[in-house]
Amino acid sequence: MKISCGQAADICNRSQYKESNVWEKLKLRLHLARCRECKKYSSKNAKLTTLCDKAGLCCLSEEDKQGMKQKLDGEA
């Protein structure tokens, strides 16, 4: 049932693109409840998603999204 920080980050990334299943999300949520670092990471991801939604950037390429993500990571 326990997952590592790396696995949590992976699920987090994939759920951003709606590629993770319910079971994975549940495990991720359990991990986030205990791990402060991953919680920080996931809220950063949520920030990125909100940003994309606002700007209507759903058509961005993966490359562009990565670029934006790096920008956000730089802020932290």
- Which residues sit at the interface with Zn ion, rule CB under 5 A? 5, 8, 35, 38
Closer Cβ to Zn ion, 5 or 57, answer by number? 5
All residues at 6 or more sequence positions from 65 whose CB lies less than 8 Å from its CB, including other chains:
48, 52
Question: In 3D, which of 59, 53, 49 has the Cα closest to residue 12?
Answer: 49
Q: How far is the CB of 65 from Zn ion (least distance, A)?
A: 23
Closer Cβ to Zn ion, 8 or 11, answer by number? 8
Q: How far is the CB of 43 from Zn ion (least distance, A)?
A: 13
> Taking CB positions, which residue lies at the least distance from Zn ion?
35
